[in-house]
């Protein structure tokens, strides 16, 4: 058997290529939208991708299952569990099999048995793998999707918080508890292959180790050691991070069927004056480092630096019905497009090299960075309002007296309610998120903004007072 895992650092997402070396057939488990890595490795190994499978309708990234079905005439293996609200709607034109608990199917001599594991979502399933090609009759491992992670389990509150389906969080948590009791009955030696690692918003304390075993999780995973169901429910639902705003769109698109990717070249703009043609209907997205942006940027642009958190904040901040013009080096354009495409932000209509935009000196602006010592002095000045853009759990864990809380992902929707007669200072944990916040505020007409270097960490390092 051939086995290869793939990790998307931007989404903390795991997918897998599994092949039967006897027959040369392969399947991709929980594929990302960019299917080129699977195709490349399959070709290197002499395998033909004949199928794709999903553990559930994903909320945090756009699935590549339809792309694989289209590209390779592959068969789709998808869940048929859950109620009518959680059925795949795009599969009719493709070869497919809709799966129930205990169903089995084969890729070559590799068997996959379906286990219904609701909790994260009603339709969630896991796949137990047995490699008969090696002569084994015992299973090797289980693809758990967003059900069991290393050190944690999937959150059950996304349907309620992200999709807006009321009163589903506690039901999901109870289902998760029951699914775990059944999961415990599987052999301890089975490997656990999850769909996410540390950094994913699909859980609150995911481990950075890419895989585990059922036996190890029984000993070390809090969800396996908690005996009381109500205690389990309370623990699971408490302290979950805010679900990114784009999660609702991902559920919708993955259910209805993601659009096929379009890799046609993106138009390059060569004169700064061309940007004025796009200002009314498009967002100007500058992907440079925050320090460069803060020093000098094109007026009206927002800044999301192209780093490991880029995709997450793009999903929080950008609208799916607004075109995007990138201000980024040409060498980065395809990687940026791939990152945005992974969550369905396909509407990039043009790009411009940053230095070209900066040549128009009549349309440039900047914001000031201040130290925590300067912040401390400004807290007594009633003309300033200090905004903390950290997550709710961070705010609850400790905050600076005199600040107000507007989490970065929801800040844009709250700008109209901010007093018009104030000057603003923004801070976060380290200064990175507040830099994005400063750009959003300036792009929306609040020009007098300062960003705190080092943020809350620098404040506490100086042993300045906090409220807890």
* 160 and 21 in a common domain: yes
DSSP-assigned states of every residue in 315-336: HHH--TTSEEEEES-GGGHHHH
| Helix/strand/coil for 464 | coil
* 36 and 140 in a common domain: yes
Q: For residue 78, what is the enclosing H or E element?
A: strand 75-79
Q: Please give the Cα distance from 48 to 379 (Å, whole number).
A: 63
Contact of 439 with 303, CB cutoff 8 Å = yes
* 103 and 216 in a common domain: yes
Examine the fold and report which residue of 230, 256, 282 is the final residue of a domain before the chain moves on.
Answer: 256
**Sequence-separated (6 or more) residues with CB below 8 Å from residue 149:** 194, 196, 197, 202, 203, 206, 207
* 439 and 292 in a common domain: no
Examine the fold and report which residue of 365, 384, 403 is the final residue of a domain before the chain moves on.
Answer: 365
Residue 468 lies in a domain: no
Kindly tell me the burial class for residue 116, based on how many C-beta atoms sit within 10 Å of its own C-beta (0-12, 13-18, 19 or more): buried
Kindly tell me the burial class for residue 352, based on how many C-beta atoms sit within 10 Å of its own C-beta (0-12, 13-18, 19 or more): buried
Handedness of CA 430, 434, 439, 440 (dihedral sign): positive
* 242 and 127 in a common domain: yes
441: which 2 tokens?
A: 């505020």
* 296 and 347 in a common domain: yes
Residue 189 lies in a domain: yes
pLDDT of residue 82: 92
Structural domain total, the chain: 3
The CATH number of residue 322's host domain is 3.40.250.10
pLDDT in tens, the chain (468 residues): 999 999 999 999 999 999 999 999 999 999 999 999 999 999 999 999 999 999 999 999 999 999 999 999 999 999 999 988 889 999 999 999 999 999 999 999 999 999 999 999 999 999 999 999 999 999 999 999 999 999 999 999 988 887 778 889 999 999 999 999 999 999 999 999 999 987 777 776 677 788 999 999 999 999 999 999 999 999 999 988 888 999 999 999 999 999 999 989 999 999 999 999 998 899 999 999 999 999 999 999 999 999 999 999 999 999 999 999 999 999 999 999 999 999 999 999 999 999 999 999 999 999 999 999 999 999 999 999 999 999 999 999 999 999 999 999 999 999 999 999 999 999 999 999 999 999 999 999 999 999 999 999 999 999 999 999
> Which residues form the domain of 180?
2-256
Backbone φ and ψ of 314, nearest 5°: -60, -40
Residue 467 lies in a domain: no
**Which residues are catalytic, by number?**
428
DSSP state of 265: P
Q: Please give the Cα distance from 122 to 174 (Å, whole number).
A: 11
* 422 and 343 in a common domain: no
Q: Say which residue the tokens 């497919």 belong to.
A: 96
> What residues are paired with 214 via a beta bridge?
none
Q: Please give the Cα distance from 364 to 3 (Å, whole number).
A: 52
Strands 282-286 and 212-213 turn out to be: unpaired
Q: Please give the Cα distance from 127 to 137 (Å, whole number).
A: 16
Residue 263 lies in a domain: no
Q: What is the pLDDT of residues 265-295, one digit of tens each?
A: 999 999 999 999 998 899 999 999 999 999 9
* 281 and 249 in a common domain: no
């Amino acid at each position: 058997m051939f086995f290869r895992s793939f990790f998307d650092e931007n989404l903390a997402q795991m997918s897998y290529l599994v092949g039967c070396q006897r027959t040369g057939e392969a399947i991709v488990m929980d594929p990302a939208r960019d299917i080129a890595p699977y195709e490349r490795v399959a070709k290197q190994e002499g395998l033909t991708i004949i199928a794709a499978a999903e553990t559930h309708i994903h909320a945090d990234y756009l699935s590549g299952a339809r792309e694989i079905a289209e590209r390779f005439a592959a068969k789709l293996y998808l869940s048929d569990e859950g109620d009518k609200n959680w059925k795949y709607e795009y599969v009719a034109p493709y070869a497919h099999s809709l799966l129930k608990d205990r169903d089995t199917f084969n890729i070559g001599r590799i068997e996959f048995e379906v286990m219904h594991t609701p909790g994260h979502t009603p339709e969630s399933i896991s796949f137990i793998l047995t490699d008969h090609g090696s002569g084994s009759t015992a299973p090797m491992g289980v693809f758990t999707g967003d059900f069991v992670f290393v050190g944690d389990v999937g959150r059950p509150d996304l349907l309620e918080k992200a999709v807006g389906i009321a009163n589903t969080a506690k039901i999901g948590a109870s289902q998760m508890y029951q699914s775990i009791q059944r999961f415990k009955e599987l052999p301890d030696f089975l490997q656990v292959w999850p769909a996410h690692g540390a950094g994913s918003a699909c859980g609150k304390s995911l481990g950075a180790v890419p895989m585990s075993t059922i036996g190890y999780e029984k000993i070390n995973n809090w969800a396996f050691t908690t005996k009381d169901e109500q205690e389990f429910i309370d623990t699971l639902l408490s302290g979950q991070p805010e679900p990114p705003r784009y999660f609702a769109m991902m559920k919708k698109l993955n259910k209805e069927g993601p659009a096929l990717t379009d890799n046609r070249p993106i138009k390059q703009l060569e004169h700064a004056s061309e940007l004025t043609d796009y200002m009314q209907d498009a967002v100007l997205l500058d992907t440079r480092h925050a320090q460069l942006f803060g020093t000098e940027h094109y007026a009206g642009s927002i800044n999301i630096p192209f780093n490991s958190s880029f995709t997450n904040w793009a999903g929080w901040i950008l609208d799916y019905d607004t075109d995007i013009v990138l201000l980024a080096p040409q060498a980065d354009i395809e990687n940026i497009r791939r990152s945005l495409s992974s969550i369905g932000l396909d509407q990039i209509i043009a790009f411009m090299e940053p230095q070209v935009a900066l040549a128009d000196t009549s349309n440039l602006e900047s914001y000031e960075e201040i130290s925590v010592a300067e912040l401390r002095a400004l807290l007594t000045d009633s003309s300033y309002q200090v905004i903390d853009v950290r997550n709710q759990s961070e705010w609850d864990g400790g905050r600076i007296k005199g600040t107000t809380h507007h989490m970065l992902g929801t800040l844009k929707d709250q700008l109209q309610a901010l007093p018009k007669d104030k000057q603003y200072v923004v801070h976060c944990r380290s200064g990175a998120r507040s830099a994005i916040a400063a750009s959003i505020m300036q792009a929306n007409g609040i020009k007098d903004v300062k960003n705190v270097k080092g943020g809350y960490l620098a404040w506490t390092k100086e042993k300045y007072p906090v409220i807890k």
